[in-house]
């Protein structure tokens, strides 16, 4: 085969190459029901610190003394992350390939920073817009955050440190692994399809942050 | 919830368009870092 024909073959192959998201999706997907099952388990685990307190109180009127560890560590995120790992281990799937955790390099990091800033601007604009609409409709803004006054001492520093760890490390890693990794992958390659997976994971992501789980808390 | 669902849409679009989850992790971390910075400033200065 000549150089010219090799180049033409390579160009033809490149022109028909599937989208990178399809290439990255080489391992066999878990399937719709397994994705829903494991996704629901991880979602409930995300809420576990709230549920451990709220469920016994609602059902039996019991006040459970939650260990102080639950206040300082993002226990829900750790549990949800473990469930994602166990799900892929159980189905013998390669973790990095299945969750599309590929290296992105410095340009990818720079792009991620740009989209992150854009996301924050969009989020703020959406909060303001919703508050204005609610005010115009006469119901008053329901998304206004509650400002907690804390004294400047060691306990406050520990609370803020755990908040930073939860928001900046645990939430991005675990929520991306769960919503855009496990759930998106399983749903997009089922009869739900890519658009359905995008909509469903976004709705579930929104619900996971309501009311005040993470962001506005 | 609508606003957070909207940002979820951005992250899932990144997952689809760039074909990886790592980029969304960086974007998510940056968005939360700005939020955590503002929250910290508000809590300490209130």
What is the average pLDDT across A37-63?
85
A215 secondary structure, DSSP code: S
Task: State the pLDDT confidence band at A152, using cuts at 50, 70 and 90.
Answer: confident
Torsion of CA A23, A28, A30, A31, to 10 degrees: 90
pLDDT exceeds cutoff 90 at A169? yes
* Spatial distance between the Cα atoms of A87 and A185, rounded to a whole number of angstroms: 13
Q: Do A197 and B31 touch (CB under 8 A)?
A: no
- Residue window 8-37, chain A: list those with CB within 8 Å of chain B: 19-24
Residue pair A209/A113 in contact by the 8 Å Cβ criterion: no
Q: Do A163 and B40 touch (CB under 8 A)?
A: yes
From the list A108, A122, A176, which residue is nearest B10 (CB)?
A: A122
Q: Do B11 and A180 touch (CB under 8 A)?
A: yes
The mean pLDDT value of chain A amounts to 81
pLDDT exceeds cutoff 90 at A3? no
Interface check for B37 against chain A (CB to CB < 8 A): the answer is no
A137-150 residue pLDDT tens: 877 665 555 666 67
Residue of A164, A166, A151 whose CA lies nearest to A209: A166
Q: Within 13 Å of residue A152, how many CA atoms lie on the same side as its CB?
A: 6
For A125-150, letters b (16+ CB in 10 Å) and e give ebbeebbeeeeeeeeeeebeeeeeee
Annotate A165-176 with DSSP letters as a single string: IIIIIIHHHHHI
Residue pair A101/A95 in contact by the 8 Å Cβ criterion: yes
Interface check for B34 against chain A (CB to CB < 8 A): the answer is yes
B2-35 residue pLDDT tens: 778 889 999 999 999 999 999 999 999 999 999 9
Interface check for A196 against chain B (CB to CB < 8 A): the answer is no
């Amino acid at each position: 085969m000549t150089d010219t024909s090799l180049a033409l073959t390579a160009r033809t192959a490149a022109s028909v190459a599937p989208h990178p998201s399809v290439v990255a999706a080489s391992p066999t997907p878990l399937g719709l029901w397994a994705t829903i099952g494991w996704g629901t388990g991880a979602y409930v685990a995300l809420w576990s610190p709230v549920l451990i307190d709220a469920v016994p109180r609602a059902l039996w009127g019991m006040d459970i003394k939650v260990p102080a560890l639950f206040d300082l560590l993002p226990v829900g995120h750790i549990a949800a992350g473990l469930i994602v790992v166990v799900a892929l281990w159980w189905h013998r799937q390669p973790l990095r390939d299945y969750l599309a955790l590929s290296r992105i390099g410095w340009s990818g990091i720079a792009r991620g920073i740009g989209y992150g800033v854009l996301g924050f601007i969009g989020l703020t604009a959406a909060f303001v817009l919703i508050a204005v609409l609610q005010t115009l409709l006469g119901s008053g803004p329901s998304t206004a955050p509650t400002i907690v006054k804390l004294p400047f001492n060691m306990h406050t520093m520990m609370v803020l440190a755990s908040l930073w760890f939860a928001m900046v490390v645990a939430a991005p890693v675990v929520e991306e692994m769960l919503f855009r990794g496990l759930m998106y992958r399983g749903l997009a390659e089922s009869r739900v399809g890519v658009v359905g997976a995008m909509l469903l994971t976004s709705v579930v992501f929104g619900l996971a942050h309501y009311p005040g789980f993470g962001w506005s808390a | 919830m609508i606003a957070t669902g909207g940002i979820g849409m951005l992250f899932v679009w990144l997952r689809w368009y760039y074909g990886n989850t790592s980029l969304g992790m960086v974007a998510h971390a940056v968005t939360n870092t700005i939020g955590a910075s503002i929250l910290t400033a508000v809590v300490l200065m209130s």
